[in-house]
Amino acid sequence: MKKLLSVFFIAALFAGSSCTGPIGPQGFQGPEGPQGVPGGIEFAKAFEITTNFTAANEYSLLEPYGFEVFESDVTLVYVLWDVLENGDAVWRLLPQTAYLTDGILTYNYDFTLSDVSIFLDGTVPNFATVPEGFRIDQTFRVVVIPTEFASAGRQDFTYEKITQAFNISEASFKKRDLR
């Protein structure tokens, strides 16, 4: 009987602790916390590359950053996919795939601390047969961001969100013509 009474008492204690009452007074204002992703090009570096993919460059390019990249940084590469009738550019994050009659063409990239490599990949048996519109005068935008942004949970890495988050304007992209 004592055990049963003890169990009942403990159960009543837990049940009573889940009751709610009136909300207490507001606490003191604490110090201001971090403001999220810092804006400004000094926190994210960016440049633009226009290139041709040919047999001479093995349908790839290797470009040094030209600025210091930290081990904790992440490189994002966007391809100029289309220009709308109103002049707005459509930028897509790589890798990006195009389905051609000869096979699948993929724009892909990799990066190190010193350079970024952008290259054609896919199932196309001979990249020389890829229409010039997919190989010649291709424009890419490279954005290097701090890992803190990339690792802060689910993020939207669309071109618009990244340029807004880091306050990157058109003038921020240093143009490099590698044709």
Domains of the chain by residue range: 45-177
Q: What is the pLDDT of residues 80-125, one digit of tens each?
A: 999 999 999 999 999 999 999 999 999 999 999 999 999 999 999 9
Q: Which residues have CB under 8 Å from 60's CB, separation 6+?
A: 53, 117, 118, 119, 120
> Which alpha helices (H) appear in 32-155, and where do they start and end?
132-135, 147-150
What is the pTM (predicted TM-score) of this model?
Answer: 0.73
Q: Residue 37: its pLDDT value, please?
A: 47
Residue 154 has pLDDT above 60, yes or no: yes
Q: Give kind and range of the element (H or E) at residue 60.
A: strand 60-64
Q: Residue 17: its pLDDT value, please?
A: 54
Q: What is the pLDDT of residues 64-83, one digit of tens each?
A: 999 999 998 999 999 999 99
Share of the chain above pLDDT 70, in %: 75
Share of the chain above pLDDT 90, in %: 56
Residue 7 has pLDDT above 80, yes or no: no
